[in-house]
Amino acid sequence: MRNDEKPAIVVGAGPAGLCAAIELKKAGAPVVLMDENAKPGGQLFKQIHKFFGSQEHKAGIRGFDIGKELLAESLRLGIDVRLKTEVVGIELGLKVWAVEDRTKSYTLDAGKLILATGATENALSFPGWTLPGVMTAGCAQTLINVHRVLPGKRILMVGSGNVGVIVAYQLMQAGAQVAAVIEALPRLGGYGVHTAKVRRAGVPFYCSTTIIRAEGAESVERAVIASIDAKFQPIPGTEQILDVDTICLAVGLTPSIELSCLAECKQIYIPELGGNMPAHDEYMRSSNQSVYVVGDIAGVEEASTAMEEGRLAGIHAAWAMGYMDDQTMKIKTDETRGRLQALRQGIFGQKRFAAKERILAMRKDA
């Protein structure tokens, strides 16, 4: 590192941020990786299921093992990882405002900024949703897989997408009963292999169904569900009462765009990938040429794609900072894009691939 040089700052040490920092450091570029949590890894350490994809995408490996590998690599490379550090502001000209341990506030100039801030789980409001016992599916997953605490004994899962069925299954593995999985759409949303495991265990799935209310004196004791019509309105007379103590919401994720808005990155709306998000080019660069966006903030996908997006940005940022020659950058980014494309296949992948292509096309028009 040259003495007066501004480092690349990576915000978020999940799969995307870790991979970006690793690529930068491998190229010899100065890099600082910040994360609000006490431990890096993002959501990887709660993923106890095996990943899909091909060999080179770590298919068949469980999420937390991928997390351990990335951590070991970042330690080996000696990356400056700053934990319990929240990035609370960004000023143009690229100054990052960080707060360490909630007590120490400082700013740091960044040569390049890579935002890997992830996504936030969506809420669903219904009477009683503020009762203890209503939580997002990701919260339940953190409780069982990270803290080893069972949130309840009988669960209603709202949402049949991948998060819903994977967490439903893991809750059963942890010892809870799943009373039902409900889905507002007329068809199920998750991967067949995960859905089938839950169904085979005898859990009923109800499509075109929503939750009407949660009831209970001090915490959730019952959930009232009902069928809905094509306009998503409850059909009178179809109500069913489920005796549950926990209601998990798995109703999608929204990219955490706050910092990208402060960095004046142009936002676009892509419903398949979570709503509003910063637009990006084929190197994951936002409309602000010094700022890259990778992982769920750039469209909600999976850890495997997040890692490749992180690598793409890390490689390109290292090149832009003068730590990689043109040819190496081209070879490496082409390889990474090839792996990304391979990950975006199949019925679920194709939809995401098409959405990502739309993002790139929009950038060219802009």
CA-based Rg of the chain, rounded to a whole angstrom? 21
Residue ranges binding other proteins (CB under 8 A): 86, 88-91, 97, 99, 102-106, 120, 122-123, 125-130, 213, 215, 226, 234, 236, 239, 254, 256-259, 261-262, 267, 269, 271, 275-276
Could you tell me the CA-to-CA distances from 100 to 37, 78, 136, 359 in Å, in that order? 10, 20, 27, 34
Q: How far is the CB of 105 from other proteins (least distance, A)?
A: 5
Q: How far is the CB of 124 from other proteins (least distance, A)?
A: 8
CB 244, CB 156: distance < 8 Å: yes
Q: How far is the CB of 191 from other proteins (least distance, A)?
A: 24
- Structure letter (DSSP) for residue 51: P
Q: How far is the CB of 287 from other proteins (least distance, A)?
A: 14
Q: In what order do the strands lie in the sheet containing 291-293?
A: 80-82, 31-34, 8-11, 112-115, 291-293
The residues near 121 (Cβ < 8 Å, ≥ 6 apart) are 136, 137, 138, 139, 249, 250, 251, 252, 253, 254
Specify the 3-state DSSP secondary structure of 93: coil
Please say which residue, 84 or 199, places its beta carbon nearer to other proteins.
84
HSE-up of 312 (CA within 13 Å, CB side)?
28
Alpha-carbon distance 80 to 95, whole Å?
18
Alpha-carbon distance 156 to 159, whole Å?
10
Neighbours of 357 (CB within 10 A): 11
As given in the structure block, the two tokens for residue 92 are 């143009």
The residues near 244 (Cβ < 8 Å, ≥ 6 apart) are 152, 154, 155, 156, 179, 220, 222, 223
- The C-alpha angle 298, 299, 300, rounded to 5 degrees, equals 125
Q: Amino acid identity of 194?
A: H
Alpha-carbon distance 92 to 30, whole Å?
20
